[in-house]
């Protein structure tokens, strides 16, 4: 998947009035350097217009490795930093659209769609839960994900925000990073045509993995509210979580029936439980 991602980035169309140079930085936080041979092959065969750099950083933790990516990126003295995940691949005009949107809006950040790519044998009642929200182009947002994100370096240096190590094992470090940026006054816009695809293997395209994602998403959100001491939203989320638990239990009866949203009750139950445990600081360490 890493090779597929890098090749898709190398194949991007570049509007030279917007983009003069692209550098690709890969930070591998596996102590066994498992990505190094793939990167060396890419550098040997395809490093014609893009400088590709590989660094090993054998320290566990999502925030740790993202902070290392920021440091290595800043060392290149760029105008913008772009995050994309190693299980994704980009479309030909992806980078033009990200840069064009952040420049035209004079924004601090811009985010684009991440569309799940599943095999044809995955049924619709599973794949429907992997879909993410979409927005009109140039919509101003109040959240971020780092799967498809561009940051203005001047803004990053101005606000001096880094990824919080409290989210190293749980995930959610990107959402909290965005929250801190936005609280400082940073703006983020939606680039609807800056599309990337996320490869979802069959091992993840199942209701167990999706239920865990719903639980973990609510768990992380509740924990963020708690550490931010946002008491109004805490009360609201607790009430919503309790409602989800009640409705989820009632809707479990729908699971055996053959319709697209048959797992709605189960997932709402997981989301409600995740919210309550998040407030109790019972963390779901999905990346330990």
Same domain for 188 and 63, yes or no, is yes
CATH code of the domain containing 128? 3.90.550.10
**For residue 115, is it within any domain?**
yes
Least Cα distance to 89 among 107, 114, 110, 72 occurs for 114
Question: Please, which pLDDT band fits residue 285 given cuts at 50, 70 and 90?
Answer: confident
Q: Quick check: 204 pLDDT over 80?
A: yes
Is the entire prediction scored with pTM above 0.85? yes
The full length of the chain comes to: 288
Q: Are residues 195 and 269 in the same domain?
A: no
Q: Cβ contacts of residue 268 below 8 Å, gap of 6+?
A: 214, 244, 245, 247, 248, 251
CB 169 within 8 A of CB 288: yes
Give pLDDT tens digits for 190-203: 999 999 999 999 98
Boundary residue ending a domain (179, 199, 219): 199
Residues 272 and 178 in one domain: no
pLDDT band at 8; cut points 50, 70, 90: very high
pLDDT, one tens digit per residue, over 28-64 is 988 899 999 999 988 888 766 788 999 999 999 999 9
Which of the four pLDDT bands, split at 50, 70 and 90, describes residue 135? very high
With 90 as the cut, is the pLDDT of residue 267 above it? yes
Angle at which helix 231-251 crosses helix 264-279, to 10 degrees, equals 150
Residue 205: the pLDDT is: 92
pLDDT tens, 211-237? 999 999 999 999 999 999 989 999 999
Q: Which residues of 215-228 are buried (b: 16+ CB within 10 A; e: fewer)?
A: bbbbbbbbbbbbee
What pLDDT sits at residue 48?
A: 65
Structure tokens at 248: 């989820």
Is the CB of residue 145 less than 8 Å from the CB of residue 83? Answer: no
Do residues 143 and 237 share a domain? no
Average pLDDT, the chain: 94
**In this structure, is residue 234 part of a structural domain?**
yes
Asked if residue 163 belongs to a domain, the reply is: yes
Which of 141, 165, 199 marks a domain boundary?
A: 199
In a domain, 139, yes or no: yes
Each residue's pLDDT tens digit, 94-105: 999 999 999 999
State the average pLDDT over residues 89-114. 97
- Domain boundary residue among 199, 229, 247? 199
Inside any domain, residue 288: no
Q: Which domain holds residue 174?
A: 2-199
> pLDDT digit string (tens) for 149-190?
999 999 999 999 999 999 999 999 999 999 999 999 999 999
With respect to residue 285, please indicate whether it lies within any of the assigned structural domains.
Answer: no
Structural domain tally of the chain?
2
Give yes or no for residue 271 having a pLDDT over 80: yes
DSSP string, the chain: -HHHHHHHHHT----TTT-S--EEEEEE--TT-TTHHHHHHHHHHHTTSSEEEEEE-----HHHHHHHHHHHHHTT--SEEEEE-TTEEE-TTHHHHHHHHHHHTT-SEEE--EEEE--TTS-HHHHGGG------TT-B-S---TTEEEEEHHHHHHHT----GGGTTTS-HHHHHHHHHHHTT--EEE-TT--EEEE--TTTSSHHHHHHHHHHHHHHHHHHHHHHT-HHHHHHHHHHHHHHHHHHHHHGGGTTS-STTTTHHHHHHHHHHHHHHHHTT----TT-
């Amino acid at each position: 998947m890493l090779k597929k991602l890098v090749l898709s980035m190398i194949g991007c169309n570049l509007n030279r009035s917007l983009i003069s140079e692209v550098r690709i930085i890969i930070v591998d936080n596996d102590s066994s350097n498992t990505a190094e041979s793939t990167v060396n092959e890419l550098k040997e065969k395809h490093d014609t217009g893009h400088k590709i750099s590989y660094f090993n950083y054998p320290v566990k933790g999502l925030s740790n490795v993202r902070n290392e990516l920021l440091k290595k990126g800043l060392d290149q003295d760029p105008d913008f930093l772009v995050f994309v995940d190693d299980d994704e691949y980009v479309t030909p005009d992806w980078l033009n659209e990200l840069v064009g949107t952040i420049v035209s809006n004079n924004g601090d950040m811009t985010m684009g769609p991440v569309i799940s790519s599943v095999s044809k044998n995955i049924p619709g009642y599973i794949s429907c839960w992997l879909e993410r929200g979409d927005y009109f182009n140039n919509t101003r947002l109040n959240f971020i994900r780092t799967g498809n994100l561009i940051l203005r370096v001047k803004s990053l240096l101005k606000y001096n925000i880094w990824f919080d190590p409290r989210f190293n094992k749980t995930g959610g470090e990107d959402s909290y990073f965005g929250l801190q940026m936005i609280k400082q006054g940073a703006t983020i816009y939606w680039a609807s045509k800056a599309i990337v695809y996320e490869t979802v293997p069959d091992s993840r395209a199942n209701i167990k993995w999706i239920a865990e994602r719903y639980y973990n998403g609510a768990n992380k959100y509740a924990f963020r509210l708690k550490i931010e001491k946002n008491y109004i939203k805490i009360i609201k989320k607790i009430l919503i979580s309790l409602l989800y638990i009640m409705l989820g239990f009632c809707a479990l009866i729908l699971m055996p029936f053959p319709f697209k949203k048959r797992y709605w009750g189960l997932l709402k139950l997981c989301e409600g439980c995740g919210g309550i445990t998040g407030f109790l600081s019972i963390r779901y360490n999905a990346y330990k």
